[in-house]
């Protein structure tokens, strides 16, 4: 067995990792969703977000294995953080670095592994998003590309942690977080010639909820709205709360798909309010703009256009009044 070497920037890397205050933290759904998605996408028994500490690898999220950490010297991820690209082991039994590794000769009997490095904007590699199989496997270029896409999302969530860019009530990115995450998404979509759409939501007559039902009800309404948005969209879409009752979405979708997206959101929102027996109905106005890489030289110009369209909709019709639900 070959224990992994230390990266050249090990001191800086550990400083950045410790500064996140994420080690030994509680599980978080935003990371657990990614490992569940990876396991399903690639049909593997195990997927993990692994952070490599000084002497261990600690799992921020793991599915398919009942473990919270392993020693660094036996970790595959310790090798993966040394390179710039995804680290692949097609058959651990025939690889002299891993053939006698206790994770190969014993539980969980690793046979194949692919780990995409997770980096902060400063270049520090914290760990990997990895997938593990108990049988030898050749990973295709499409497999590796998809795994790297998921790793970029995990990086975005790490950045949100680093920059204190989360809204404390809804645990969605706040305005600052949205700008940080969007820069990554827009740059990657432009490079891959992908279509993005931006949607700006504003809850109609939200003040009535606070005035008539109290601020606790207002907070619950914001949480209901945010959870419904998140559940109605894809894992790779960015959902943020950018103001008091204002939410924004940057989605991998063309204008033609927005109607279906909003219909799905409306269905999820109604179901959520019914399940929670909410004492309020939530209506909203929304402005939608398909992102034009030529016309929208900056994210702000796209946001301003969506904001203008949203207010046109809000003032172009009479917003429905707050409705109390019977029996609530």
For residue 152, what are the contacts with CB-CB under 8 A and spacing of at least 6?
Answer: 184, 188
Highest mean pLDDT: which range of 58-62, 160-164, 314-318: 58-62
CA distance 67 to 69: 6
**Chain Cα centroid distance, residue 136:** 29
> Which CATH number does the domain 10-162 belong to among 3.30.450.40, 1.10.10.10, 3.40.50.920, 3.30.365.10?
3.30.450.40
Yes or no: say if 209 and 279 are a contact pair by the CB < 8 Å rule: no
Say what the pLDDT of residue 180 is. 72
Spans of all domains in the chain = 10-162, 175-316
The gap between the terminal CA atoms of the chain, to the nearest Å, is 63
* pLDDT of 6 higher than 70: yes
Region of poorest pLDDT, from 98-107, 169-178, 286-295, 305-314: 169-178
**Position 159 confidence tier, pLDDT thresholds 50, 70, 90:** confident
Say what the pLDDT of residue 172 is. 85
Dihedral, 68, 73, 75, 81 alpha carbons, nearest 10 = 110
Q: CA nearest 227: which of 160, 290, 148, 169? A: 169
Strand 284-290 and strand 197-203: the pairing is antiparallel
* pLDDT of 80 higher than 50: yes
Look at 191 and 28; give whichever has higher pLDDT.
28
Could you count the other beta carbons within 10 Å of the beta carbon of residue 312?
12
Reported pTM: 0.57
pLDDT (mean) for 37-60: 96
Which residue reads 């106005």 in tokens? 285
pLDDT (mean) for 214-231: 95
Say what the pLDDT of residue 188 is. 74
**Chain Cα centroid distance, residue 159:** 11
Say what the pLDDT of residue 162 is. 67
Could you count the other beta carbons within 10 Å of the beta carbon of residue 107?
11
* pLDDT of 72 higher than 50: yes
CA distance 328 to 280: 9
* Residue 315: both structure tokens together: 């003032």
Say what the pLDDT of residue 133 is. 97
Yes or no: say if 189 and 152 are a contact pair by the CB < 8 Å rule: no
**Position 163 confidence tier, pLDDT thresholds 50, 70, 90:** low
Length of the chain, in residues: 328
What DSSP string describes 218-239? HHHHHHHHHHHHHHHS-TTSEE
Residue 168, CA distances (Å) to 144, 160, 213 in order: 34, 12, 22
Average pLDDT of the chain, as a whole number: 89
% of residues, the chain, pLDDT over 70: 95
Say what the pLDDT of residue 71 is. 97
* pLDDT of 289 higher than 50: yes
* pLDDT of 93 higher than 90: yes
* pLDDT of 293 higher than 70: yes
Look at 229 and 178; give whichever has higher pLDDT.
229
The architecture of the domain spanning 175-316 is 2-Layer Sandwich (3.30)
Q: CA nearest 296: which of 305, 287, 284? A: 305
Condensed to tens digits (0 to 9), the pLDDT of residues 309-328 reads 999 988 875 443 333 333 33
Say what the pLDDT of residue 50 is. 98
* pLDDT of 246 higher than 80: yes
């Amino acid at each position: 067995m070959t224990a992994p070497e230390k990266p050249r920037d090990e001191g800086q890397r550990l400083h950045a990792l410790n500064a996140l205050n994420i080690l030994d933290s509680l599980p978080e759904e935003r990371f657990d969703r990614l490992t569940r998605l990876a396991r399903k996408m690639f049909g593997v028994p195990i997927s993990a977000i692994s952070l490599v500490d000084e002497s261990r690898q600690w799992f921020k999220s793991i599915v398919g294995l009942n473990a919270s950490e392993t020693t660094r010297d036996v970790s595959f991820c310790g090798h993966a953080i040394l390179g710039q690209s995804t680290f692949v082991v097609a058959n651990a039994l025939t690889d002299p670095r891993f053939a006698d590794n206790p994770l190969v000769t014993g539980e969980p009997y690793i046979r194949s592994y692919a780990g995409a490095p997770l980096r902060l904007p400063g270049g520090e590699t914290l760990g990997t998003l990895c997938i593990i199989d108990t049988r030898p496997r050749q990973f295709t270029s499409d497999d590796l590309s998809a795994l790297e896409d998921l790793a970029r999302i995990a990086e975005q969530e790490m950045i949100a942690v680093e920059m204190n860019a989360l809204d404390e009530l809804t645990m969605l990115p706040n305005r600052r977080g949205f700008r940080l995450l969007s820069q990554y998404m827009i740059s990657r979509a432009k490079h891959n010639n992908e279509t993005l759409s931006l949607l700006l939501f504003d809850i109609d007559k939200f003040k009535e909820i606070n005035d008539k039902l109290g601020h606790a009800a207002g907070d619950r309404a914001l949480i209901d709205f945010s959870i419904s948005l998140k559940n109605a969209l894809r894992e790779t879409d960015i959902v943020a709360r950018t103001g008091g009752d204002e939410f924004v979405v940057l989605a991998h979708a063309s204008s033609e798909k927005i109607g279906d997206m909003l219909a799905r959101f409306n269905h999820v929102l109604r179901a959520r309010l019914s399940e929670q027996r909410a004492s309020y109905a939530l209506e909203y106005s929304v402005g939608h703009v398909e992102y034009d890489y030529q016309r929208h030289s900056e994210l702000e110009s796209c946001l301003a256009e969506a904001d203008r369209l949203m207010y046109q909709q809000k003032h172009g019709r009479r917003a429905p009044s707050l409705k109390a639900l019977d029996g609530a």
